[in-house]
Amino acid sequence: MKRRTFIQGLAALGVAGALPLPLSRAFAATTASPVSVDQLPRLEGKLTLYLGRGEGGLYENVLQAIQDKNPKLELGIRRGPTAALANTIVAEAKMGVQRADLFWAVDSGAIGLVTDAGLAHPLPDDLSAQLQPQFRYPGWAPVTGRVRTLPYNTERLSAEQIPTDIMDIAESDLSIGWAPAYASFQSFVTAMRLIEGDDKTAKWLKKVQKRAKSYAGELGVVMAVERGEVDIGFANHYYTLRLKSGKPDANLALAFTNDDAGCLVNASGILALSEDPLAVNFMRYLLSAEVQSYLAQEAYEIPLISGVSQPQGLPPLASISPPKVDLTQLADLRPTLDLMRASGVL
């Protein structure tokens, strides 16, 4: 779906499915029905949004569509790396300055930096009710999710040959692709530290490093797996789905571990830094059925409201068992970076 089509169809795009989107069978609690943009209040006035760099410009398409539907909205956007913008928001607050009304981050760790500083305003109950129960937080709204996966080369491996415990990867003889400098990987290591402890995580990193080949990013990891340079990789799910959408016969499939950091579900998210009701009403648009459907179809990200189909090519999420981790706990990366450096990974 191109930007022009999305903009023209924003008010009319149907919900892509009728079933709720649980991330496991335990997440089947009732949520509110998805809300169409036609049910939302018009946006009028000035807002400043700090935007962490989105996926492939698709977040920019969403923002443009919202502005096109709301011509009386004056939206100023400051763009930059998510972590840098989070640090800027905290620094500005310490100086008694508030330049942003909203912060849309591509990683929940950056959200945690801002919420831990006490800068996020509470969400109204009706907005939180749009989200899957396990993604309801008092100070921010997750927008879309992503699952940590093990992409593997189907000519070199079968699914049965891949460990279902992330810790067992370190004991296997598989060749591995990873991107240790990549933010999503570091969030994954942070989750492992929280679940397994620093000592076990450090030992895991050192063992994996002996058979791992490093890449600049996780798209590079997935491409290397497909070429057969390595057996498996560590990457967010959407890199594999995007590659396969352009190359359906790719020698590539997804495997998942169970109830550990290897299948962590992370999220992009947005929070209000201003008490202006306009800021919260803007957030409602990102949780609308139309925007959630668009990001699922085009970015292959996981919608976090009920009633919108998951990305094509992702197995039923009811079969995936992510660990129970408060995503805002991923904010403190310093111990993770220190551990990765001490282990020789960075």
SS (H, E, C) the chain: CCHHHHHHHCCCCCCCCCCCCCCCHHHCCCCCCCCCHHHCCCCCEEEEEEEECCCCCHHHHHHHHHHHHCCCEEEEEEEECHHHHHHHHHHHHHCCCCCCCEEEECCHHHHHHHHHCCCCCCCCHHHHCCECHHHCCCCCEEEEEEEEEEEECCCCCCHHHCCCCHHHHHHCCCCEEECCCCHHHHHHHHHHHHHHCHHHHHHHHHHHHCCEEECCCHHHHHHHHHHCCCCEECEEHHHHHHHHHHCCCCCCEEECCCCCHHHCEEEEEEEECCCCHHHHHHHHHHCCHHHHHHHHHHCCCEECECCCCCCCCCCCHHHCCCCCCCHHHHHCCHHHHHHHHHCCCC
φ and ψ at residue 19, rounded to 5 degrees: -95, 150
Neighbours of 335 (CB within 10 A): 12
Tell me the C-alpha to C-alpha distance, in Å, between residue 242 and each of 55, 147, 215, 268, 313: 11, 14, 18, 18, 9
Q: Is 239 annotated as a binding residue?
A: yes
Burial class (CB in 10 A: 0-12, 13-18, 19+), 36: middle
Tell me the C-alpha to C-alpha distance, in Å, between residue 137 and each of 120, 247, 268, 310, 327: 11, 38, 13, 22, 10
What would the two tokens of residue 4 be?
A: 């022009």
Binding-site members for Fe cation are 238-239
Binding-site members are 238-239
